[in-house]
């Protein structure tokens, strides 16, 4: 039924979406029709009314071309004052780092090659050299362009390879010309915005030990229109296994690249991915930096296809090979790397379990609601492949006969124990107490309103939790109707009106996991925190972090606090979609905003802000370009980042 007295945009969504979604699904099954229709939609989305209609069909977080062009005007357009500020900053640098831009070239469309080179020459940071290797392009036109460009600017160095060796060999040839402190990798038809190298230099100066730098990026078509922005997370080694989040703009210390032998032959199309993985293996996380700004425009939608477009299968095969070898080099034996279903440019990693698998203590707090508890425990005992198990049901003053009858039934299984925990509900206290009784090496905190969907969920969690560098593991949680309940925790979002926010669940309420920002809901990722509705932690890590805070966080945010303490100890927090369950959130306890709970909830918010305020405001996995009013990667206007030329 169409509701009355709602905004025009909402009425349009109600009217058109069911029909349009069905039509879109039909079109997507017919590639011959989908391609031209998609191209038409992309062009149309530059206009406001068409953009509203497209958003009515797609997810709310989808950014249309019209919206992105508006965002660029408001947030990513240099003024004359900006240019002057950059010039003043550059003039004041006593020892500016030299940056060598590495560009392999082969039979490039002349117009795009010239524009790529001109974008380097237009850099507001002048301390660069452009090192170009022509990979034996046929004819003389490409070489003639390079000669003309080199003659016009002494900072351009060129060489001509006698034979075509493809992109890895050509990259190494260009690298042989480099003398800079850092090398920046650039394709022969892409564009650098004029402030790109200044931003990179500012990062190098701010972090003198940095070894690897990457930025955000977008794409640019043959008419110079920008689209499809990719705003990345902070350093995210788990996400890197599923997607090459480093690629553009990527800079690395030249000595490190030379020591590693440059780009490896046999990885053409993913040679940059392979190199980034090899660098990451050898440097600590604090020597890898993300610049949360679009510093690279990747040429797409042109008549002349790039290598990654024309030889897609070869690129994807090289990516799988790069990730597989990286895992083997880092001691992960037996991992299986496969393309993500319906998204072969992304990879899914199935990690092996140790042999023998560790005992897992499953800790389930409950107060009556026997029907929920039965569904939860039987899911663990009968629908879960993982063994061995130590199930502890923590009884917080259950009084219903059905519950006690269920306890009696469940304890017939020798893996199940009932642990009394009388008194007012204090989630932190009763779980801390239960940990003292747990026999397992791995603790699994599980709400009584969680239901099993797939048999391998616990295997996937344990395979992550036993890694020595990992401290906590969370999972995908869905409401009973299939909507997303938890895709990881985002810091600094949510909260009560008038209260500074603490944290919220990524993509909470989204219609499905199939469409998300660069497939984030389908890829394992590093996050700042996960919910303890279903969270695995090694017992030694839990105790090292001091457990849950039962004094200040009896009910809310104790899981966020624990994850932040675990992160402060140097451990990673991982969210994995390879384990997904149903969660009827707070079905047995009630909601924190109910009148009887609101005062306690406010106190817990205040405590979290006192203890973690600066951390909460700067979640590296949900950076300053995203609007924290939402939890689905919508862009902020204005952004929360101060550009380096504006900083004091």
Residue 12 in this model has a pLDDT that exceeds 80:
no
Q: How high is the pLDDT of residue 3? A: 42
Q: Which of 36-45, 75-84, 382-391, 460-469 has the lowest mean pLDDT?
A: 36-45
Query: Which residues are 389's β-sheet partners?
Result: 360
- Which is nearest to 165 in space by CA: 190, 132, 133, 201? 133
**Which percentage of the chain shows pLDDT scores above 90?**
79
Domains in the chain (CATH in brackets) are 8-74 (no CATH), 93-303 (3.90.550.10), 360-616 (3.90.550.60)
What integer pLDDT is reported at residue 229 of this predicted model? 95
Question: Span 576-584, mean pLDDT?
Answer: 94
Q: Please write the tens of the pLDDT for every residue from 409-419.
A: 999 999 999 99
Region 33-39: what's the mean pLDDT? 68
The Cα 174–Cα 612 span in angstroms is 47
> Each residue of 469-488: b (16+ CB within 10 Å) or e?
ebbbbbbbbbeeeeebbbbb
Query: How confident is the model at residue 250, as a pLDDT?
Result: 96
pLDDT at 49 over 70: no
Helix, strand or coil, per DSSP, at residue 564: helix
Mean pLDDT, range 272-282, rounded to an integer = 96
Question: How large is the average pLDDT for residues 386-407?
Answer: 95
- Confidence band, pLDDT 50/70/90 cuts, at residue 307: low
Q: Could you report the per-residue pLDDT of 156-211, keeping only the tens digit for each?
A: 999 999 999 999 999 999 999 999 999 999 999 999 999 999 999 999 999 999 99
Whole-number pLDDT of residue 1: 37
Answer whether 161's CB lies under 8 Å from 133's CB: yes
Q: Which long-range contacts (CB under 8 A, 24 or more apart) does 376-383 make?
A: 376/446, 376/447, 376/448, 376/449, 376/450, 376/451, 377/410, 377/416, 379/450, 379/451, 379/452, 380/446, 380/452, 380/458, 381/413, 381/415, 381/416, 383/452, 383/455
Tell me what pLDDT residue 600 has: 87
Predicted pLDDT at 46: 60
The arithmetic mean of pLDDT across residues 27-49, rounded, is 65
| Whole-number pLDDT of residue 566 | 98
Separation of alpha carbons 537 and 360, rounded Å: 10
pTM of the entire predicted model: 0.88
- Per residue in 203-243, pLDDT (tens digit) is 999 999 999 999 999 999 999 999 999 999 999 999 999 99
Confidence class for position 588, pLDDT limits 50, 70, 90: very low
Average pLDDT of the segment spanning 453-475: 97
Q: Report the pLDDT value the prediction gives residue 301, as an integer from 0 to 100.
A: 67
Predicted confidence at residue 587, as pLDDT, reads 44
What rounded mean pLDDT belongs to the chain?
90
pLDDT value of residue 648: 81
SS3 at position 355: coil
């Amino acid at each position: 039924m169409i509701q009355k007295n709602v905004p025009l945009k909402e009425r349009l969504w109600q009217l058109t979406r069911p029909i349009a979604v069905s039509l879109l699904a039909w079109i997507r099954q017919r590639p011959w029709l989908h391609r031209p229709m998609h191209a038409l939609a992309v062009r149309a989305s530059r206009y406001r009314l068409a953009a509203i209609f497209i958003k009515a069909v797609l997810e709310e977080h989808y950014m249309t071309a019209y919206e992105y062009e508006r965002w660029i005007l408001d947030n990513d357009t240099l003024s004359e004052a900006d240019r002057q500020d950059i010039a003043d900053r550059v003039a004041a640098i006593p020892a500016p780092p030299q940056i060598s831009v590495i560009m392999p070239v082969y039979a490039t469309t002349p117009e795009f090659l010239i524009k790529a080179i001109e974008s380097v020459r237009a850099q507001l940071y002048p301390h660069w050299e452009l090192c170009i290797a022509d990979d034996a392009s046929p004819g003389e036109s490409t070489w003639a362009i390079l000669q003309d460009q080199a003659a016009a600017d002494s900072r351009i160095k060129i060489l001509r390879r006698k034979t075509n060796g493809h992109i890895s060999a050509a990259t190494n040839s260009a690298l042989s010309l480099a003398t800079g402190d850092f090398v920046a990798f650039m394709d022969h038809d892409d564009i650098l915005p004029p402030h790109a190298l200044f931003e990179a230099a500012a990062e190098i100066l701010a972090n003198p030990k940095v070894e690897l730098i990457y930025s955000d990026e977008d794409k640019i078509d043959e008419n110079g229109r920008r689209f499809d922005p990719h705003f990345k997370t902070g350093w995210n080694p788990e996400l890197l296994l599923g997607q090459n989040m480093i690629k553009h703009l990527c800079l690395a210390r030249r000595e490190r690249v030379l020591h590693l032998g440059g780009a490896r032959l046999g990885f053409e199309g993913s040679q940059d991915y392979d190199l980034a993985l090899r660098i990451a293996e050898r440097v600590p996380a604090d020597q890898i930096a993300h610049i949360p700004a679009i510093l690279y425009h990747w040429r797409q939608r042109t008549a002349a296809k790039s290598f990654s477009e024309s030889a897609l299968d070869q690129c994807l095969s090289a990516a799988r090979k790069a990730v597989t070898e990286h895992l083997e080099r880092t001691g992960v034996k037996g991992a299986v790397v496969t393309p993500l279903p319906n998204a072969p440019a992304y990879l899914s990693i199935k990690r092996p379990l140790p042999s023998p698998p560790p005992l897992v203590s499953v800790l389930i707090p409950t107060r009556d609601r026997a029907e929920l508890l039965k569904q939860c425990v039987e899911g663990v005992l009968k629908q879960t492949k993982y063994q061995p198990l130590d199930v502890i049901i923590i009884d917080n003053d259950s009084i219903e006969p059905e519950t006690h009858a269920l306890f009696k039934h469940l304890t017939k299984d020798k893996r199940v124990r009932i642990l009394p925990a009388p008194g007012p509900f204090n989630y932190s206290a009763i779980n801390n107490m239960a940990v003292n009784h747990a026999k397992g090496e791995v603790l699994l905190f599980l709400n009584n309103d969680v239901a099993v969907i797939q048999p391998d969920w616990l295997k996937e969690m344990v395979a992550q939790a036993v890694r020595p560098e990992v401290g906590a593991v969370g999972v995908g949680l869905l409401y009973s109707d299939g909507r997303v309940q938890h895709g990881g925790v985002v810091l600094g979002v949510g909260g009560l009106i008038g209260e500074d926010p603490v944290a919220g669940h990524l993509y909470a309420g989204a219609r499905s996991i199939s469409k998300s920002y660069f497939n984030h809901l389908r890829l394992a990722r590093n996050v700042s925190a996960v919910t303890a509705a279903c969270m695995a932690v090694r017992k030694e890590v839990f105790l090292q972090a001091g457990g849950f805070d039962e004094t200040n966080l009896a009910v809310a945010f104790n899981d966020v606090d624990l994850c932040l303490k675990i992160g402060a100890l140097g451990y990673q927090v991982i969210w994995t979609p390879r384990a997904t369950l149903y969660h009827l959130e707070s079905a047995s306890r009630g909601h924190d905003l109910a009148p009887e709970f609101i005062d306690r909830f406010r106190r817990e918010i205040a405590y979290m802000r006192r203890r973690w305020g600066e951390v909460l405001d700067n979640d590296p996995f949900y950076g300053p370009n995203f609007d924290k009013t939402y939890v689905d990667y919508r862009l902020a206007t204005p952004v929360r980042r101060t550009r380096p030329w504006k900083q004091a």
